[in-house]
Amino acid sequence: MNVTLFGTDALAARERGLLREAVLAALGPKRRRGGEVCLILIPDKKIHAINKQYLGHDYPTDVIAFPYEDAVPGVRRAPDAPFGDVYIGLGVAKRQAKEMGHPLFKELVTLAVHGSLHLAGYDDRAPAKKEKMFARQNRLVARLLPDGKKKTKTPPRPRR
């Protein structure tokens, strides 16, 4: 499976590699040999516009995932078809990292995992599902990052 990164030029090659690993680890057995995920880091203004246009939320957010399968209702993707896009709002990620007391890169990995888990079918709207998703997210972040043993909390929702 190919993971294409956009907006990551300021990151070191090792960090870009870890972001790719984060996506693949989160997808687990759902990843497809011929599939593709795009991980896109964008400023708050752009993620705000996407959040408003596609989800009806008039504020910037930390991460949004769009599975390609959902792009055309009623159309199922082929086994090796592309997978989806994960957008990370850099401004929100920076603020959350500061609030959580960890480096920005850890927040980027956490959000890459979180968005990719959504592509893999995880849902965090119901409390029980949210708990399961965050448990998986915490295990993956702990495995990917040396300091990842510290659990990530539910990120605060951006203020409206």
Q: Other CB atoms closer than 10 Å to residue 83's CB: what's the count?
A: 26
- Name the pLDDT band for 26 (thresholds 50, 70, 90): very high
What share of the chain in percent tops pLDDT 90? 72
Q: Which CATH superfamily is domain 2-144 in?
A: Metalloproteases ("zincins"), catalytic domain (3.40.390.30)
- Name the pLDDT band for 81 (thresholds 50, 70, 90): low
Of 14-18, 30-34, 98-102, 134-138, give the lowest mean pLDDT range.
Answer: 30-34
Q: Where are the domains of the chain?
A: 2-144
Query: Is a pLDDT exceeding 90 seen at residue 45?
Result: yes
- Token couple for 142: 């702990």
CA distances from 38 to 19, 35, 65, 86, 116 (A): 11, 10, 10, 6, 10
